[in-house]
Chain A
Amino acid sequence: MIILSNGKTNEVAARTDDTETLWVRLGELPKATGWQMKPQGACLGDLCVPVPEHKREEWIADAEDWVWFNYSEFADLLGQKYVRDGDVWSLGSIPEVRRMGLESAVAPDFELTDRNGDVLKLSDFRGRKVVLFSWSSW
């Protein structure tokens, strides 16, 4: 299946016995969603969200010789919106991450390629003023 997240398209394994739920192998969770499972919970950078004790067995499950994480229920807990069509899942922004960004007014970092194929990160410009300007051909 394909997961669209943070501007990236990630092809990951799918559970064949439950296609209605977004199950992600624990090992593929960081690549597919940005979250990483740690002892204190699921973590995205400095933000860590404990997996509710009563949900632990339900959300982290063995199936088909792998350990899977129930990402759709986790996303519901976060208030993160997602939409699915066939084997493609698209994940929206995480409200808490947006809220933290808005409160601090720190420009959210991004990584894109320029026309020569070189990677450009906004954070590389720290120490300089930046005018970020969008346009489109349409």
Chain B
Amino acid sequence: MAQDSGDPSAINKWFDKAKPTYRCVVDPTHEISSLFGWVNVPSAAWIDEDGQIVRSNEGVYPSEVSIGFGLGKVRAGDDSFADATRDWIERGAESEHVWSSRELAEQLKPVDDDKLLAEATFKLALHFEAAGDSERALKHFAAAQDLAPDNWNYMRQGWTHKGAVYASWKILKRTADLRKNTDKSFYDPTGLPGENYRRFTETEWLWTPAVQRVKQLFRG
């Protein structure tokens, strides 16, 4: 599911490149994230044959990836989610990665009034963005971000409205700040065996190799 506002045809190049063997849908108004309580991408849910959610996590890349953001890049993902998914597909409810009812109750929590208002506000921002009313879109993106400061979807979609360079700078800056000032990552931990929890905060700035070379020259 591609969570991209604007013209759905704009994301076709990614679909083409992935050569998917699975169904791909476009979700320009972030409906699935609203329904499943997701606040970042990629996120994923396992849904069993009876339509029950048996697991839901964020930060679940299918393998290790390197993601460029203009002036820098980050590494993300590992094999833990793909391995766990294969196990669930083979063993179903017997898989150790299926959440218990207690884990489900802990993870699928109700949201407070501010977050409910943030959701309505964010949808209003998306409407004005699609209508080409940038001023009102930015006003409501900012209000939604204030109401739900932990929601990366709101931040990243709003930053992207100001341009890809701005959005890239903001995401790299925030992940670098997370690494420096907190023990949190960009994503909540999945708790899956083999997960590299803080990987996404290991920002690699493009200028870092050049700075290191200059330092070596001075040392030499």
Contact = CB atoms under 8 A, between A and B. Distances in A.
A81 B116 contact: yes
B136 interface: yes
A39 interface: no
B150 interface: no
Q: Give the interface centre of A92, A135, A136 by most chain B CB atoms within 10 Å.
A: A136
A101 B154 CA distance: 23
Contacts of B160: 138
Given A134-B38, A134-B41, A107 B123 contact: no
B124 interface: yes
B100 to A, nearest CB: 11
A92 B115 CA distance: 9
Contacts of B36: 107-108, 132
B104 interface: yes
Nearest to B49: A127
Contact of B15 (A110, A115, A123): A115
A2 interface: yes
Contacts, number: 166
Nearest to A106: B51
Interface residues of B, number: 68
Interface string A110-121: 101111000010
B117 A115 contact: no
Contacts of B108: 102, 105
Contact of B50 (A90, A92, A126): A126
Contacts of A99: 110
B48 A132 contact: no
A85 interface: yes
A115 B41 contact: no
A127 B18 CA distance: 27
Given A81-B119, A85-B140, A138 B157 contact: yes
Given A4-B123, A114-B25, A132 B1 contact: yes
A28 to B, nearest CB: 18
A135 to B, nearest CB: 5
Contacts of B44: 131-134
Interface stretch (B27-35, B175-183, B205-213): B27-35
Contact of A83 (B42, B117, B164): B117
A136 B49 contact: no
A126 B33 CA distance: 20
B121 A90 contact: yes
B24 A85 contact: no
Contact of B24 (A80, A108, A114, A125): A114
A6 B88 CA distance: 31
A88 interface: yes
Interface centre among B2, B11, B46, B51 (most CB of A within 10 A): B51
Interface of B: 1-4, 8, 10-12, 14-15, 23-27, 29, 31-36, 38, 41-54, 60, 85, 88-89, 92, 101, 104-105, 108-111, 113, 116-117, 119-121, 123-124, 127-128, 136, 140, 153, 156-157, 159-160, 164, 167
20 contacts: A80-B116, A81-B116, A83-B120, A85-B128, A85-B140, A92-B116, A92-B117, A93-B116, A102-B109, A112-B31, A112-B32, A115-B12, A129-B46, A129-B88, A133-B1, A134-B3, A134-B27, A134-B43, A135-B3, A138-B164
